[in-house]
Amino acid sequence: MTTIPDQQSVEFFDDAWKNKNSDERLRAIAQLSHGERKVQQTLIQIALHDEHISVRIAALKHIHDLDLLVELRDQQGPLQQSAAQQYFRVLAGSHDAAISEAQRLQTIRGLSKAGLKQVALLAKSKTAGSEALNLIDEPEELMDLSLFAASVHVRKNAALKISDKALLLELRKKVQNKDKTVFKVVDRRISEQADPGKPGKASPNGKNLQSRQAQPAPAIKKSKAAPAQQASKSNAKPEPGKTETVDIKTPDVSSTASEKVEPKSKEAKAPAPAAIDPQVQLPRLEAELGKTSYKNTGRLNALRTSVNSLRKAVAQASEELQEKTSKLHNTLLEMQEKNRSHQQHLKEATESLLLLLEKALEDGQSHDALPAWDKIQGNISNTSGKLKAALQKQANNHRDKLNELRDWKIFASTEKKKGLVAQMQHLIESKMHAADKSKHIGNMHRQWKALGRSSQNQELWREFKKLSDKAYEPCKEYFKQRKQLMASNLKQRRGICDRLEQELKTLAEENLNISNLNTLLRDAENEWKQFAPIEHSRIKSLQKRYYGLVNQFRKLRKNALRTNSKQKRDYITQARSLAASEDNNSAMSEAKRLQQQWKKLGPTSYKEDKKFWEDFRAACDKIFAKRNQQTAETRKHVQQAESSLENILQSMASIFTLDDDSFRKSRSDFQDLIQRFSTAMDPRIKNQRKRLLDQFNGSKRKIESRFNTLPNKKAVLLKNAVLAKSKFLEQLEDKLLNSKDDEQFNKLKNQIDRKAWEDIEPADSLQYEEALHDRLGKIIATVSVEELRNLAQECEVQIRSLCIDLEIRANIDTPPEDQALRMQIQLAQLKNGFGQSRPDHKENLKVAMDAELLGLCIGPLSATVQKQLSQRLDGAIRKLM
């Protein structure tokens, strides 16, 4: 017996398995050879311990060990329902399993009613379906099997067992134009009930008279009431507050075996037995005996009768036939001997089950008592003779208590079914998603079936089924759309495979772009996941096609990676050999060539790529180490030369900022800096050479230009004299312009220090001296602050005109507020100077010096205007100089 392994003993899951995602694990499970014992152990480990529930369930669907499935089914958890379903699939033959047919049938006989129904619904094995169907007698269950069983054999035989005409009429309506086989069977049964006297039709108890006479009576599993009693029970109405009881007593075996079917009339006679043809009968019996298990008591008894009849028929036949018949008889005797041992084993098992049944009845446990009773009846049905009668007698002792317990169960099932009807009514009004609603409906149907029989069973079922159909209406449209979606996804996935096949044809292994290939595979994988789900019946073949193409791409990539790895190793070897070469220039040239070829190589795996590049770069670094040392020394000398040249340029810039006296004395220093710059200019300077030369030449031109424009001593004395009197007047004008009233104005004007004015050294120019005296005279002539301010405005216009005139001559911009005045001055200059040549630098220099002195003579001016216009005037003068 297989047991569930302890968690600590599991050593199956290595790092490779853990690092796979759920989809890769599912594919790995699908590719396993599930019939091998080692693979089964692996699947058990996955089903018990994998972290993904979908992977666990997928592994469980390939397990066929019944004992393990029973243990998983009895455990609470997410695998319980899947384990139960897999258990039934194995028994039904819809899943390949290494179990014998006899073991399968023996296990089916021990199932509960719900389990028997599941096996019958799923059965692909005809023997498994027949065995489960023989143990099911409830009309509602037979109705479901006739409609939904996977095997047409089960559907047909389930329809044959239904005797209720109302159910047959309902079944015929449901299978019309859907299941031709079941429809023909049901239609014939309805016709037989309508006219039971026709030959070959069923008798009132539902059995064919001729077939019962031709074949031995099968072992009866449950008691059947007489037709008259059944009719009276069906017509009688149950009293209020009471439930119907079902008599499950099995009649005595001897009476059953000896029962004969009386002809319908005295004139009817049983047909004479057909003559036995040994040539035909012998091969048939040999084949049938080969298929029969020694555990099938009823079939062995029937074969014994047929073999004895055959022995009598071949008594006068050839020796060859007699010998074959004797051999067949001996084989049958051996199987009957095994059968007797098997019946003894069944006796012991049944006696144990009877003790279990007795205890369950005493405790009132219907979920233990009813399955035990079914197993007991299954064991008894496979015995014969006195043993069968004795066991049946012991079982009948518990019949009354079992009927009472079943009545209580029926009563409880009725109330629960009423609750399910109410829940289904609420589900109709629910707003939940169609998929969830479908699951709820299916779950409620399973609960209904698990409850078994109940009072008012047909009425409650019809009401429940009607509400169920109404609740399922929204789900139909959902599943219709889902089916369309799956069809669309199937088309898209086929398109993905088609594109991959086309792409595979265009790829060349020698020119493979691994990056593009990785992108192609990644995009294909994303698309593949996007177009899901598809129909389960088509997924395997499509997945096989898709992953076959993916594996071909991966093989190409693997080969390309291997080729790239080999080439990079070769380049590393060549680079290392070049590092030992004495001809460094040749080695560097060859190393550069290798580096260019290295760039053209495709990638390898990430770890290899990193290691290869480090090794190749280290080898190349050794080659360039000598040149790098020389380059470093050269760079150091160049940096020192550049630093020295920068210092020289800074010194030249500082000379230009000196005042005129100091600047005049710095001529020798300037010549020395020029000589030093020429000496320090290293020919190895490349990048900064142009910038340094431009900066040097610019500074040199500025300094030389300033030397050329330095005023002589006479001009300096003149400027100082004009500047001294201009400062005196500016201070006086500032005080007067800032007077509070005329009284203060006159008081300040009377306080003018004329002696200080006279003491200022006069300018050596009559023009500027008269202009300054005239400026003082205008100030003294004013009688009020307002008059002085008006005079200041007039002087402002004069100084502005002077500034604009110089700005025009210097070709510099004028502020926006003076643009109109500039336009007037330019027009006037254009008229007066038409045909004249452009002024030279010398002339501009003279104009600038005269304008500077004239600007000092114009006043009075406010302090703000004085500051603003002085700056503009100085800027234009510097530009002209």
Residues 544-578 pLDDT 10s: 999 999 998 888 888 888 888 888 888 888 888 88
Compute CA distances 596 → 312, 327, 682, 739, whole Å.
100, 89, 34, 85
Query: If pLDDT is split at 50, 70 and 90, which confidence band does 22 have?
Result: low
Query: Which 3 state secondary structure label does DSSP give 202?
Result: strand
User: From the CB of residue 806, how many other CB atoms can be counted at a distance below 10 Å?
Assistant: 24
270-305 CB burial, b ≥16 within 10 A, e <16: eeeeeeeebeebbeebeeebeebbbbbbebbbbbbe
Q: For position 220, what pLDDT does the model report?
A: 32
CA 880/CA 517 separation, integer angstroms: 71
Q: For position 433, what pLDDT does the model report?
A: 87
Q: For position 274, what pLDDT does the model report?
A: 54
In this prediction the pTM is 0.32
Interacting residues of 448 by C-beta distance below 8 A, sequence separation 6+: 417, 420, 461, 464
CB-based contact 388:217 (threshold 8 Å): no
Compute the average pLDDT of residues 166-179. 84
Q: For position 245, what pLDDT does the model report?
A: 33
Compute CA distances 743 → 76, 669, 777, whole Å.
114, 59, 20
Give the residue, 118 or 38, on which the prediction is more confident: 118
Sign of CA dihedral 415, 421, 425, 427: positive
Token reading at 129:
């379906």
Interacting residues of 417 by C-beta distance below 8 A, sequence separation 6+: 448, 451, 454, 460, 464
Q: For position 237, what pLDDT does the model report?
A: 36
User: From the CB of residue 178, how many other CB atoms can be counted at a distance below 10 Å?
Assistant: 9
Q: For position 445, what pLDDT does the model report?
A: 92
Percent of the residues in the chain that have a pLDDT greater than 70, as a whole number: 83
Residue with tokens 């006279």, as numbered in its chain: 758
H helix runs in 507-583, sequence order: 514-530, 536-579
Compute the average pLDDT of residues 89-106. 76
Q: What angle do CA 393, 450, 357 make, to 5 degrees?
A: 25
Query: Which 3 state secondary structure label does DSSP give 454?
Result: coil
Query: If pLDDT is split at 50, 70 and 90, which confidence band does 214 have?
Result: very low
Sign of CA dihedral 716, 719, 724, 727: negative
- Which of the residue ranges 481-495, 502-516, 612-626, 771-785 has the most confident prediction, judged by mean pLDDT? 481-495
Amino acid (1-letter code) at residue 22: S
Token reading at 376:
């007991």
Interacting residues of 28 by C-beta distance below 8 A, sequence separation 6+: 20
CA 659/CA 665 separation, integer angstroms: 10
Compute CA distances 463 → 9, 410, 418, 425, whole Å.
53, 18, 10, 10
User: From the CB of residue 750, how many other CB atoms can be counted at a distance below 10 Å?
Assistant: 8
CA 702/CA 568 separation, integer angstroms: 61
Q: Which of 201-205, 532-536, 645-649, 845-849 has the lowest mean pLDDT?
A: 201-205
Query: If pLDDT is split at 50, 70 and 90, which confidence band does 818 have?
Result: confident
pLDDT at position 206 over 50: no
Phi first, then psi, for residue 601 (nearest 5°) are: -70, 145
Q: For position 837, what pLDDT does the model report?
A: 60
User: pLDDT (tens digit, 9 = 90+) per residue, 611-668?
Assistant: 888 888 888 888 777 676 667 777 888 888 888 888 988 988 888 788 777 877 888 8
Token reading at 556:
């190409």
- Which of the residue ranges 33-37, 476-480, 836-840 has the most confident prediction, judged by mean pLDDT? 476-480
Burial class (CB in 10 A: 0-12, 13-18, 19+), 836: exposed
Compute the average pLDDT of residues 677-695. 84
CA 521/CA 517 separation, integer angstroms: 6
Q: For position 586, what pLDDT does the model report?
A: 82
Give the residue, 498 or 109, on which the prediction is more confident: 498
Angle between helices 101-109 and 80-92 (to 10 degrees): 120
Q: Which of 337-346, 516-525, 579-588 has the lowest mean pLDDT?
A: 579-588
CA 194/CA 679 separation, integer angstroms: 134
Phi first, then psi, for residue 284 (nearest 5°) are: -65, -45
Q: For position 722, what pLDDT does the model report?
A: 79
Q: For position 497, what pLDDT does the model report?
A: 93
pLDDT at position 233 over 50: no
CA 829/CA 519 separation, integer angstroms: 76
Nearest Cα to 447, choosing from 420, 412, 414?
420
CA 265/CA 170 separation, integer angstroms: 33
User: pLDDT (tens digit, 9 = 90+) per residue, 717-735?
Assistant: 777 777 888 888 888 888 8
Sign of CA dihedral 851, 852, 857, 863: positive
Token reading at 75:
């455990």
Query: If pLDDT is split at 50, 70 and 90, which confidence band does 163 have?
Result: confident
Query: If pLDDT is split at 50, 70 and 90, which confidence band does 48 have?
Result: confident
Compute the average pLDDT of residues 843-859. 80
CA 81/CA 442 separation, integer angstroms: 14
Sign of CA dihedral 431, 432, 433, 435: negative
In the DSSP assignment, the letter for residue 65 is -
Query: If pLDDT is split at 50, 70 and 90, which confidence band does 102 have?
Result: confident
- Bond preceding residue 860 cis, omega within 30 of 0: yes
Give the residue, 247 or 172, on which the prediction is more confident: 172
CB-based contact 99:66 (threshold 8 Å): yes
- Bond preceding residue 533 cis, omega within 30 of 0: yes
Amino acid (1-letter code) at residue 323: E
Token reading at 691:
């910038």
User: pLDDT (tens digit, 9 = 90+) per residue, 385-423?
Assistant: 888 888 888 888 888 888 877 777 777 788 888 889 988
Please give the distance of CA 826 from its chain centroid, rounded to a whole number: 78
pLDDT at position 260 over 50: no
Nearest Cα to 117, choosing from 453, 612, 523, 407?
453
Phi first, then psi, for residue 208 (nearest 5°) are: -80, 125
Q: For position 76, what pLDDT does the model report?
A: 65
User: pLDDT (tens digit, 9 = 90+) per residue, 273-317?
Assistant: 456 777 788 888 888 888 888 888 888 888 888 888 888 887 777
Q: For position 207, what pLDDT does the model report?
A: 37
Q: For position 241, what pLDDT does the model report?
A: 35
CA 138/CA 133 separation, integer angstroms: 10
User: pLDDT (tens digit, 9 = 90+) per residue, 736-787?
Assistant: 888 888 888 888 888 887 788 878 878 777 888 888 888 888 888 888 888 8
Q: For position 215, what pLDDT does the model report?
A: 36
Q: For position 4, what pLDDT does the model report?
A: 41
Q: For position 271, what pLDDT does the model report?
A: 46
As a whole number, the mean pLDDT across the chain is 78
Phi first, then psi, for residue 112 (nearest 5°) are: -75, 175
Interacting residues of 10 by C-beta distance below 8 A, sequence separation 6+: 45, 48, 49
Nearest Cα to 158, choosing from 145, 140, 176?
145
Burial class (CB in 10 A: 0-12, 13-18, 19+), 872: buried
Percent of the residues in the chain that have a pLDDT greater than 90, as a whole number: 4
CB-based contact 148:159 (threshold 8 Å): no
Phi first, then psi, for residue 166 (nearest 5°) are: -60, -40
DSSP 804-866: HHHHHHHT----GGGHHHHHHHHHHHHHHTTTPPPP-HHHHHHHHHHHHHHHHH-----HHHH
CA 673/CA 671 separation, integer angstroms: 5
Query: If pLDDT is split at 50, 70 and 90, which confidence band does 495 have?
Result: very high
Query: Which 3 state secondary structure label does DSSP give 780?
Result: helix
Q: For position 300, what pLDDT does the model report?
A: 85
Q: For position 236, what pLDDT does the model report?
A: 35
Give residue 44's region: left, alpha or beta (phi > 0; psi -120 to 50). alpha
CA 799/CA 855 separation, integer angstroms: 7
Sign of CA dihedral 170, 176, 179, 182: positive
Q: For position 498, what pLDDT does the model report?
A: 92
Q: For position 742, what pLDDT does the model report?
A: 84
pLDDT at position 705 over 80: no
Side-chain-side CA neighbours of residue 466 (13 Å): 7
